[in-house]
C-alpha cells in the first residue's frame, strides 16, 4: 500500500489530549487508514472510481473494522495502515446499503485497542466530539455536533436522524466520531455545505449514527448483508429543485434507464402520491413493497406529464461480491 501523504489538520482545530477525560491517543490509535481497489468492470467504478482511500475503526479485538461502505463495495483488495505505519491486508466482509456501514476483517494482527461502541442517541446538538482520522491527533478534528436531522442522498438513501459536525474533517470517509466518553458514536460519510447567513457557508461532515449498527451487525457478519427484504431500487440519481424532484443521472443499464427515464425529468408523484422532497420520493417507492415491485411514476418532461412504470430490483444484484482471501 502506498505511503500516506504528509497532510495534517490545522493546529487550530486539532484535539488536545488535556481537553478530554479519556485517553485520546489510545482512542485515536483504533482509527486505521484504509485503501481499497475495485476492478475496472465493477458496477460502482464509474461513480466511486477503482482506487478508494479513507479510514476504518477497529471495533473488536479480533480485527473487525467498521467503515463507510462506499470505500469497500466491490473491493478486490483492502489494505489497512496503523498510525505507526504498519500495513495489514484486509477482507471486505459486508456492506449494508440502507445504513451505509461496511465491515472489513483484518487478515493480520493489529495489536491495537478496539474502540468501544457508544450510544449516538444520547449525543445532543452542541456536544463536543472528536472526528478522528487515521494518524492520530494531527489528523483529527475537535468538533461539535451542529445538527441532528433527516438526510436524503441523491443515490436513493435516507437516514432518519443523521449527525452533522463542524468544523469538517478534510478526509471524512470512514472517520470515527468519538464522544465525550471516548466511545464510537458514528462513522463519517460526507462533507456538505451549511448556509449560516445569506453569504456565509461552512463545511460540515455528515455522520452515520452508530445506533444503526445494533440491528444489522450480526446479519452482516453472518450473511454479508442484513437479512431483511431488499428495498426496491430504481438506479437513478436525483435532487430537489424548487419543491420538485428532478432526475440528474441514471445508473447504466439500471431499471430507470431501461424504463426510459431521462436526465432532466421531474418526478411529480409515486403511485399517485405527490412528492416534493428526496426523502418523500424514496420513502414512497419503498412503501410499495420489496425489490422487484413495479413502481409507477408521474413524470414531467418538456412540458408534458405522463406515467412511467419502473420494474425495481435489488441494488445488490448489480454489484460484485467480495473476493475471498
Mean pLDDT of the chain: 95
Tell me the per-residue pLDDT of 1-10, one tens digit each, with 9 for 90 and over: 334 567 899 9
Residue of 320, 13, 3 whose CA lies nearest to 166: 13
Q: Which three cell numbers stand for residue 196?
A: 449560516
Buried (b) or exposed (e) across 217-239, using 16+ Cβ within 10 A?
beebeeebbbeeebbbbbbbbbe
Distance CA 236, CA 257 (A): 8
- Residue 1: the pLDDT is 37
Paired residues of 122 in beta bridges: none
Strands (E), 154-233: 157-166, 176-178, 184-197, 200-209
Per the structure block, which three cell numbers stand in for 135? Answer: 494518524
Residues 6 or more apart in contact with residue 241 via CB below 8 angstroms: 266
The pLDDT score that the predictor gives to residue 198 is 74
Half-sphere CA count of 199, side-chain side, radius 13 A: 0
Bridge partner list, 269? 274, 298
Record the cell numbers describing residue 304, joined without a space: 408534458
pTM of the model: 0.95
Distance CA 243, CA 175 (A): 33
- Summarised one tens digit per residue, pLDDT across range 236-275 is 999 999 999 999 999 999 999 999 999 999 999 999 999 9
pLDDT of residue 3: 41
**Distance (Å, rounded) from C-alpha 72 to C-alpha 36?**
6
Distance CA(51)–CA(312), nearest Å, equals: 29
Would the pLDDT of 322 be above 70?
A: no
pLDDT score at 309: 98
Supply the pLDDT for residue 234.
98
In the prediction, which pLDDT does 286 show? 98
Question: Helix, strand or coil for residue 48?
Answer: helix
Q: What pLDDT score was predicted for residue 277?
A: 98
Q: Flag whether pLDDT at 183 surpasses 50.
A: yes
* Res 46 pLDDT > 90: yes
Q: What residue ranges define each of the domains in the chain, with the CATH number in brackets?
A: 1-227 (2.40.10.120), 236-318 (2.30.42.10)
What is the model's pLDDT at position 200?
A: 79
Q: What is the pLDDT of residues 190-231, one digit of tens each?
A: 999 887 777 778 999 999 999 999 999 999 999 999 999 999
CA 325 vs. chain centroid, Å, equals: 25
Amino acid at each position: 500500500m502506498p505511503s500516506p501523504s504528509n497532510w495534517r489538520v490545522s493546529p487550530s482545530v486539532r484535539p488536545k489530549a488535556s481537553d478530554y477525560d479519556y485517553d485520546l491517543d489510545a482512542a485515536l490509535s483504533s482509527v486505521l487508514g484504509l485503501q481499497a481497489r475495485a476492478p475496472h468492470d465493477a458496477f460502482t467504478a464509474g461513480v466511486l472510481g477503482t482506487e478508494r482511500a479513507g479510514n476504518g475503526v477497529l471495533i473488536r479485538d479480533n480485527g473487525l473494522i467498521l467503515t463507510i461502505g462506499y470505500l469497500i463495495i466491490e473491493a478486490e483488495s483492502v489494505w489497512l495502515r496503523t498510525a505507526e505505519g504498519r500495513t495489514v491486508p484486509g477482507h471486505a466482509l459486508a456492506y449494508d446499503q440502507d445504513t451505509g456501514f461496511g465491515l472489513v476483517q483484518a487478515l493480520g494482527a493489529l495489536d491495537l485497542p478496539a474502540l468501544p461502541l457508544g450510544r449516538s442517541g444520547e449525543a445532543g446538538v452542541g456536544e463536543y466530539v472528536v472526528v478522528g482520522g487515521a494518524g492520530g491527533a494531527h489528523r483529527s478534528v475537535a468538533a461539535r455536533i451542529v445538527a441532528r436531522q433527516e438526510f436524503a442522498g441523491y443515490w436513493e438513501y435516507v437516514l432518519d436522524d443523521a449527525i452533522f459536525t463542524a468544523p469538517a474533517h478534510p478526509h471524512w470517509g470512514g472517520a470515527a466520531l468519538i464522544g465525550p466518553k471516548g466511545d464510537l458514536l458514528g462513522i463519517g460519510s460526507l462533507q456538505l455545505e451549511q448556509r449560516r447567513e445569506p453569504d456565509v457557508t461552512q463545511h460540515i461532515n455528515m455522520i452515520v449514527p452508530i445506533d444503526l449498527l445494533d440491528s444489522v451487525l450480526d446479519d452482516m457478519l453472518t450473511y454479508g448483508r442484513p437479512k431483511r427484504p431488499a428495498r426496491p431500487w430504481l438506479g437513478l440519481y436525483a435532487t430537489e429543485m424548487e419543491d420538485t424532484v428532478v432526475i440528474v443521472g441514471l445508473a447504466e443499464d439500471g431499471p430507470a434507464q431501461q424504463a426510459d427515464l431521462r436526465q432532466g425529468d421531474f418526478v411529480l408523484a409515486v403511485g399517485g402520491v405527490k412528492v416534493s422532497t428526496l426523502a418523500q420520493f424514496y420513502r414512497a417507492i419503498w412503501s410499495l413493497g420489496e425489490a422487484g415491485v413495479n413502481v409507477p411514476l408521474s413524470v414531467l418532461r418538456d412540458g408534458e406529464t405522463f406515467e412511467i412504470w419502473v420494474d425495481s430490483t435489488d441494488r445488490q444484484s448489480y454489484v460484485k461480491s467480495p473476493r475471498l482471501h
